[in-house]
Amino acid sequence: MTKQDILYIWRQLRSYDIYPTKDEMRDLLECGLDDFHIVLDGSEFRFIHTDAIWDIYVNGIKEVTEECYFNGTITDKMWCLEIDWEKTAENCLNADGYGHHFASYDGEEMELDVDKDNGYYFFRVN
């Protein structure tokens, strides 16, 4: 990654009023995972790669639904029940976006472009 790339990422974060230290930037750039938590500028954020967010979101909606509406019953074990989790997640996404589910702090959904083929959604979680 070039200095220009790093500066580009740093400027994107600043546009959200996030001012990471050099060590925090290094940790962010070295992570390389699809889904991770990191502290930047004194706050914890969850970063989810754009290629992975849909599957993580669908699974999260399924877990929340089972916990809240089925009292923790795992619906996969109920042979008579069939739920279209993709459609359920799509309905939730259209109503509230990703931020409502992932950003427990403020519900805000933010995006970070690393390069033209590589990006993340990120959310403040505390």
- The string of pLDDT tens digits covering residues 100-113 is 999 988 989 999 98
Q: What is the dihedral of CA 75, 104, 106, 114, to 10 degrees?
A: -90
Decide: residue 41, CB within 10 A, 0-12 exposed, 13-18 middle, 19+ buried.
middle
Q: Express each pLDDT in 21-74 by its tens digit.
A: 999 999 988 888 899 999 999 999 999 999 999 999 999 999 998 888 888 777
Strand blocks (E) in 18-98: 35-40, 43-49
pLDDT per residue over 64-76, tens digit each?
Answer: 988 888 887 777 7
Supply the pTM of this predicted model: 0.86
Worst-scoring range by mean pLDDT, 3-7, 13-17, 21-25, 60-64?
A: 3-7
Mean pLDDT score, 80-88: 88
What are the boundaries of each domain within the chain? 3-124
